[in-house]
Structure 1
Amino acid sequence: MPLILHSLRNAVTALRAVQAKSEDIPFMAAQDEITREVIRSGVIQHFEFTYELCWKFMRRRLEADIGRSSVDGLNRRDLFRIAAENRLIEDVENWFGYHQARNETSHTYDLAVAARVYATSLNFARDAALLLAELEARNA
Structure 2
Amino acid sequence: MTRERLHRKLEEYRRACKRLEEAINLPLNHDIVYDGVIQRFEFTFELSWKLMKMFLEYAGVTEIRSPRAAIQEAYAYGLIEQGEQWIAMMIDRNKTSHIYDEKEARLIYDKVKNKYYKLFNQLRKRMEKEMEIEQ
Q: Does 1:102 align with 2:81?
A: no
AA partner of residue 13 (structure 2): L
Runs of 4+ in 1 over 3 A off after TM superposition: none
Which string of whole-angstrom CA distances, capped at 9 and with x for unpartnered residues, describes residues 90-110 of structure 1? 100111111011111125531
Where does residue 125 of structure 1 map in the other structure? 117
Amino acid paired to 1:48: E
Structure 1 gaps, min length 5: 23-27
SS of aligned partner of 1:72:
coil
Matched, 1:11 2:16: yes
Please give the per-residue CA displacement for 1:67-112, whole angstroms capped at 9, x wherever unaligned. 33xx333x33232121111111110011111101111112553112
Quote the offset at 1:13 in angstroms: 0.6
TM-score, scaled relative to structure 1: 0.82
| Structure 1 position 121, deviation (Å) | 1.3
Bigger mean CA deviation after superposition, 2-11 or 96-105: 2-11
Equivalent pairs counted in the alignment come to 126
- The 1-side partners of 2:25 and 2:105 are apart by 18
Aligned residues of 2:64 and 2:70 also touching (Cα < 8 A): no
- The equivalent residue for 1:25 is none
Q: Secondary structure at the match of 1:67?
A: coil
* Cα RMSD (Å): 1.6
Give secondary structure in 2 for the equivalent of 1:66.
coil
Q: Deviations over 1:27-70 (max 9, x none)?
A: x4xx4xxxx200111110110000000000000011111333xx
Q: Give the superposition deviation at 1:139.
A: 1.1
**CA shift for structure 1 position 133:** 1.0
2:37 maps to 1:37:
no
